[in-house]
Amino acid sequence: MALIKHNLIPRGELRKLWLSAVVVLILFRTAAAGEEFRSVSFVNDVVPVLTKAGCNAGVCHAKAGGGQNGFQLSLLGFEFQDDYEHLVKEGRGRRLFPAAPERSLLLMKAAGKMPHGGGVRLQTESEGYTLLLNWIRQGVAYDGDTAPQLTSIEVQPNRGTLMRNAAQQLKAIAKYADGSERDVTGFALFESNDKSMADVADGGLVQISDIPGKVAIMVRYQGRVAVFNASVPLGAPVDSVPASKNFVDDFVFGNLKEIGVPPSPVCDDATFLRRVSLDISGRLPTDEEATAFLTSQDADKRDQVIDRLLRSPEYADYFANKWTAMLKNRRDDASDMTSNFAFYAWVRDSLLANKSYDQLVRELLAATGTVIANPPVAWYKRVKEPKQQLEDVAQLFLGVRMQCAQCHHHPFERWSQDDYYSFSAFFTQVGRKPSATRGEDLIFHKRGVAGAANIKTGLTLKPAALGDAIPAIAPDEDPRLKLADWMSSPENPFFAKALVNRYWKHFFRRGLIEPEDDIRDTNPPTNPELLGALEHHFHASGFDLKELVRVITRSNAYQLSSVPNQYNVADQQNYSRYYPRRLQAEVMLDAIDDLTGAQTDFPNLPTGTRAIALPDNSYNNASPFLKVFGRPENESVCECERVQSSSLAQSLHLMNAGDIKAKLATGSGRADRLSKSEQPTDQKIRELYMVAVAREPRADEWKVALDYLAEPRIDAAGNPIDPQKANTENFQDLIWALINTKEFLFNH
| Band (67; pLDDT cuts 50, 70, 90) | low
Peptide bond into 515 cis (omega under 30): yes
The gap from C-alpha 636 to its chain's centroid, in whole angstroms, comes to: 12
With a cut of 80, say whether residue 63 has pLDDT above it.
no
Helix axes 386-397, 495-508, angle to 10 degrees: 60
SS3 746: strand
Tell me how long the chain is. 748
Report the alpha-carbon distance of residue 461 to residue 427 in Å, rounded.
Answer: 12
Average pLDDT over residues 7-23: 43
> Could you give the residue ranges of the DSSP H alpha helices within 437-494?
479-487
| Burial per residue of 656-675, b for 16 or more beta-carbon CB atoms within 10 angstroms, e otherwise | ebeebeebbebeebbbbbbb
233-279 tens-digit pLDDT: 998 999 899 999 999 999 999 999 999 999 999 999 999 999 999 99
Alpha carbons within 13 A on the beta-carbon side of 523: 18
Torsion angle of the four alpha carbons 126, 130, 132, 134, in this order, in degrees rounded to the nearest 10: 180
71-94 tens-digit pLDDT: 777 777 677 788 788 888 776 667
Geometric angle at alpha carbon 507, from 506 and 512, rounded to 5°? 75
Q: Please answer whether residues 40 and 131 qualify as being in contact, where contact means their C-beta atoms are separated by less than 8 angstroms.
A: yes
Per-residue model confidence (pLDDT) at position 410: 59
Per-residue model confidence (pLDDT) at position 458: 81
Per-residue model confidence (pLDDT) at position 64: 64
Report the alpha-carbon distance of residue 400 to residue 497 in Å, rounded.
Answer: 11
Report the alpha-carbon distance of residue 541 to residue 536 in Å, rounded.
Answer: 9
With a cut of 80, say whether residue 131 has pLDDT above it.
yes
With a cut of 60, say whether residue 62 has pLDDT above it.
no
In DSSP terms, 198 is beta-bridged to: 208
Q: Please answer whether residues 669 and 365 qualify as being in contact, where contact means their C-beta atoms are separated by less than 8 angstroms.
A: no
- CB proximity list for 342: less than 8 A, separation 6 or greater: 371, 372, 375, 378
| Band (53; pLDDT cuts 50, 70, 90) | confident
Q: Please answer whether residues 383 and 394 qualify as being in contact, where contact means their C-beta atoms are separated by less than 8 angstroms.
A: no
Per-residue model confidence (pLDDT) at position 333: 79
378-421 tens-digit pLDDT: 999 889 888 899 999 999 999 988 777 666 565 666 777 788 88
With a cut of 60, say whether residue 354 has pLDDT above it.
yes
Per-residue model confidence (pLDDT) at position 19: 37
**67 or 669: which carries more pLDDT confidence?**
669
- CB proximity list for 503: less than 8 A, separation 6 or greater: 545, 548, 549, 552
Q: Please answer whether residues 113 and 135 qualify as being in contact, where contact means their C-beta atoms are separated by less than 8 angstroms.
A: no
Report the alpha-carbon distance of residue 580 to residue 693 in Å, rounded.
Answer: 14
560-583 tens-digit pLDDT: 999 999 999 989 899 999 999 999
118-129 tens-digit pLDDT: 788 888 888 888
Report the alpha-carbon distance of residue 403 to residue 573 in Å, rounded.
Answer: 28
- CB proximity list for 181: less than 8 A, separation 6 or greater: 173, 174, 175
Average pLDDT of the chain, as a whole number? 87
Report the alpha-carbon distance of residue 658 to residue 654 in Å, rounded.
Answer: 9
CB count in 10 Å sphere of residue 99: 8
Per-residue model confidence (pLDDT) at position 46: 87
Per-residue model confidence (pLDDT) at position 66: 66
pTM of the model: 0.86
Torsion angle of the four alpha carbons 51, 55, 58, 64, in this order, in degrees rounded to the nearest 10: -120
* Terminal Cα distance for the chain, rounded: 94
302-342 tens-digit pLDDT: 999 999 999 999 999 999 999 999 999 988 877 788 889 99
Average pLDDT over residues 714-731: 81
Measuring CA to CA, which residue among 502, 522, 523, 520 is closest to residue 511? 502
% of the chain surpassing 70 pLDDT: 91
Fold for 150-232, please state it.
Immunoglobulin-like (2.60.40)
Q: Please answer whether residues 495 and 360 qualify as being in contact, where contact means their C-beta atoms are separated by less than 8 angstroms.
A: no
Per-residue model confidence (pLDDT) at position 712: 81
Per-residue model confidence (pLDDT) at position 3: 41
Q: Please answer whether residues 552 and 507 qualify as being in contact, where contact means their C-beta atoms are separated by less than 8 angstroms.
A: yes
Per-residue model confidence (pLDDT) at position 481: 94
Per-residue model confidence (pLDDT) at position 716: 74
Q: Which of 183-197, 266-280, 466-480, 699-713 has the highest mean pLDDT?
A: 266-280
Q: Please answer whether residues 154 and 175 qualify as being in contact, where contact means their C-beta atoms are separated by less than 8 angstroms.
A: yes
Instruction: Give the start-to-end residue ranges of the domains of the chain.
Output: 1-29, 38-137, 150-232, 385-433+445-492, 585-747
DSSP state of 44: I
Per-residue model confidence (pLDDT) at position 281: 97
% of the chain surpassing 90 pLDDT: 54
The gap from C-alpha 246 to its chain's centroid, in whole angstroms, comes to: 27
With a cut of 60, say whether residue 434 has pLDDT above it.
yes
585-628 tens-digit pLDDT: 999 999 999 999 999 999 889 999 999 999 999 888 888 899 99
Measuring CA to CA, which residue among 479, 496, 510, 636 is closest to residue 574? 510
Torsion angle of the four alpha carbons 134, 137, 140, 141, in this order, in degrees rounded to the nearest 10: -80
Measuring CA to CA, which residue among 431, 430, 403, 398 is closest to residue 419? 403
Report the alpha-carbon distance of residue 574 to residue 214 in Å, rounded.
Answer: 8
154-182 tens-digit pLDDT: 999 999 999 999 999 999 999 999 999 99
144-148, 282-286, 292-296, 368-372, range with the lowest pLDDT: 144-148
In DSSP terms, 156 is beta-bridged to: 171
Average pLDDT over residues 113-120: 80
Report the alpha-carbon distance of residue 363 to residue 355 in Å, rounded.
Answer: 11
In DSSP terms, 690 is beta-bridged to: none
